[in-house]
Each structure stands twice: as C-alpha cells, then as structure tokens.
C-alpha cells in the first residue's frame, strides 16, 4: 500500500547516502520502481523517490539509465508522472553538459516538445519548458535538434496569448521559461532570429514586458535584445510593435536585473539605427541609461549601459550632446559618482 511505499522510499533515501548502498540499490533493479514512484499521488513518496534518484545519479554509470527511464516516463502514466519526470530531467540537465547530451541521446526532445504542445497550461508543460530551457544552454547541436523537431513554433505558442494581467500572472513562470528558451536560441544566430520572428514571437514578447513579474520582464527584454542584435529587419519590427516605450519604462522603474536586460535590448535596437536612436531619446531613454551607468550594481549592468550609450552617441550629434550634459550633471551632483568607469569618458571622444 501507499504507507509501505512511503516507508520503503524513505529507507532507500537514507541508504543511498553511502556509495556501496547506491551500487546495491542499482544492482537490485531499484531505479525503475523509483522512477515509477515519481508519479505517485503521495507527495512524501514522490519526495523520497526524487531524493533517492538524485543520490543514485551521483554515480555516472547510473545517470544514463535514470535518464532513459525518465524519458520513457514522459510518454504516458498521467500528467503527474510527466511533471515529475520532466522536472527531474530539468534538474539533471542543469547539472552538466554530459547529462544534457544523455537526455538528447535517450530521445528526450520529442516527448518534452509534445507536452509543451498541449493546449492547457499545466505543471507538466511548465516542467517540460524548464527542461528545454536547460537543454538549449550553450549548445548549437542541441539547439539544432530542438529546432528540427519543431521546437520554435511550440515555444512561441507557449508565450502569453493574452494581455489579460490576471492570466499572465497565473502563468508567469511558464511564459518566462518559454522566453528564456527563445532568447538562447536567438542569441548570435541569424537563422534562428528569423525563424522566431516569423513564428510571431515579437508581439507576445512586447506584451509581456508590461507584466508585473520581474523575471518575466527580464527574460522578455533579453529575448527582444537577442532578436534585434545585428538584425536591421528585427530592429524595425520590434520598434514598430511598440517595444521601445516599455523598455524605457523598465529601465527607469525595473529591478536591477530588469534594468540590465532593458539596457541591453536598447543597445541592440539602437545599433546603427537612427530612427530607433531618435525614438529612444524621444521616449526618455537616455537619462535612465546615464543613471544606470553611474549607479549600476554589477559589471554587467555597467557594460550594458556603456554599450547602449555608445550606440546612442554613434553618428548622432544631438544624442551625444544630451548624454554629455547628463553625465556632467551627474558627476557634479555627487562626488561619489567620480568613480564612474572610464567607459563613460570614452563614449564622448
């Protein structure tokens, strides 16, 4: 019964702390039943089973077998089992590149995308998006495999389809994961930029910039920046969809990470693009960029502010003069601001 399963899983969890016991559990065929137990309606049994599998996966020989069992579990057994299997795969994918390759080799991409393609926003869908967002990390081979399996339209369709604030808030984590995965696919890859844009991502990304969820705002801004980078067609498309105004607002009012990604997006949008430079200036984007340059809390935020201001200055006399005046005013108003990185000076030379 359930009580016996719970007790047995708890005992195995304690035993799996020792290497010899991990080997014994595996040799006794314990991995399959433990993976099955992830689909249990008993949350304590689920928790214990997950803990045992994490400990068993310390042994590299066990990892491939665990991953294969988890991938098999994605194909059926109900949404609870799918959710737990996808969540376990997401955790394994975040641990190492080796695990990510093993998940792909085990045939994990197709069933994960199949769950993502479900119409309803479920916990299983959210966990599958988490797994895909981990799999695409820094791997062109895996990214290509996901795209070949039809991943881009499924990810775009997983973005918010409504501007209803209540609906967006309820599914914010799901939308955030989809935006993150698309952002990684777009980064430095012109073909992917085009495919994502053609799939209709831009309006949804711009819409969710207004969501009152910092992680979602940051991921949407990052994705728009990666879509616009060195891509004039996307620069214009994103600007036409109305992204610059909310990006300027986030640059003023967002949290630190949101400001950083908003600055990066404005850098990409304004690069060698005079109409977008004019729009950023008109909508008040220069002053918060200067403020971020002076008060940024990380090296990355300073880099993005410097890059965006440099882009705004380039071949644009009016912006250069505005930025120079603002920086001088900031420096004059507070002595601590004299510690501003030298990048601010280089902008004006």
Note the pLDDT of residue 349: 38
C-alpha pair distances (Å), 87 with each of 79, 102, 147, 240, 335 = 12, 16, 21, 38, 50
Given this model, what pLDDT does residue 155 score? 98
Write a three-state SS string for 258-275: HHHHHHHHHHHHHCCCHH
Position 130 scores a pLDDT of 98
Q: How far apart are CA 327 and CA 216, in angstroms?
A: 31
Closest by Cα among 330, 272, 263, 348 to 301: 263
Q: What is the pLDDT of residue 341?
A: 47
Residues of the chain with pLDDT under 50: 335-349
And the tokens for 75? 């194909």
**Which domains does the chain show, CATH number per domain?**
1-118 (1.25.10.10)
Q: From CA 346, how far away is CA 349, in angstroms rounded?
A: 5
The pLDDT of residue 121 is: 78
Q: Tell me the C-alpha distance between 306 and 130, whole Å.
A: 32
Q: Tell me the per-residue pLDDT of 175-209, one tens digit each, with 9 for 90 and over.
A: 999 999 999 999 999 999 999 999 999 999 999 99
What is the distance of C-alpha 193 from the center of its chain?
A: 16
The string of pLDDT tens digits covering residues 57-93 is 988 889 999 999 999 999 876 788 899 999 999 999 9
List, as one string, the DSSP characters of 162-176: ---HHHHHHTHHHHH
Cβ(83)–Cβ(129) under 8 Å? no
Q: What is the structure's pLDDT at 120?
A: 85
Question: Considering the entire predicted model, what is its pTM?
Answer: 0.91
Q: How confident is the model at residue 336, as a pLDDT?
A: 43
């Amino acid at each position: 019964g359930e009580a016996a399963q719970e007790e047995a899983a708890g005992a195995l969890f304690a035993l799996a702390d020792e290497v010899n016991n991990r080997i014994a559990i595996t040799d006794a065929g314990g991995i399959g039943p433990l993976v099955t137990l992830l689909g249990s309606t008993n949350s304590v049994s689920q928790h214990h089973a997950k803990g045992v599998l994490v400990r068993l996966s310390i042994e590299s020989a066990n990892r491939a077998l665990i991953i294969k069992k988890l991938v098999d579990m994605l194909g059926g057994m109900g949404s609870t089992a799918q959710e737990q299997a996808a969540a376990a795969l997401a955790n394994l994918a975040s641990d190492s590149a080796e695990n990510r390759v093993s998940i792909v080799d085990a045939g994990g991409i197709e069933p994960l995308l199949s769950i993502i393609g479900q119409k309803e926003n479920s916990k299983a869908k959210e966990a599958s998006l988490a797994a895909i967002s981990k799999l695409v990390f820094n791997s062109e081979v895996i990214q290509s495999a996901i795209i070949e399996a039809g991943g881009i339209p499924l990810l775009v369709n997983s973005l918010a389809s409504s501007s209803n604030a209540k609906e967006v808030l309820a599914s914010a984590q799901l939308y955030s994961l989809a935006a993150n995965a698309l952002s990684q696919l777009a980064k430095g890859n012109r073909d992917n930029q085009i495919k994502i844009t053609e799939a209709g991502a831009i309006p949804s990304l711009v819409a969710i910039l207004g969501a009152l969820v910092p992680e979602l705002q940051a991921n949407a801004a990052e994705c728009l920046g990666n879509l616009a980078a060195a891509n004039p067609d996307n620069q214009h498309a994103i600007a036409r969809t109305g992204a610059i105004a909310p990006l300027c607002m986030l640059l003023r009012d967002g949290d630190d990470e949101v400001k950083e990604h908003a600055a990066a997006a404005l850098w990409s949008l304004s690069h060698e693009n005079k109409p977008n430079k004019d729009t950023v200036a008109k909508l008040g984007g220069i002053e918060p960029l200067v403020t971020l340059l002076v008060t940024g809390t990380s090296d990355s935020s300073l880099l993005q502010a410097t890059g965006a201001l440099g882009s705004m200055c380039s071949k644009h006399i009016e912006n250069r003069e505005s930025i120079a005046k603002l920086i001088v005013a900031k420096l004059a108003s507070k002595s601590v601001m004299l510690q501003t990185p030298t990048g601010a000076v280089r902008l004006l030379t």
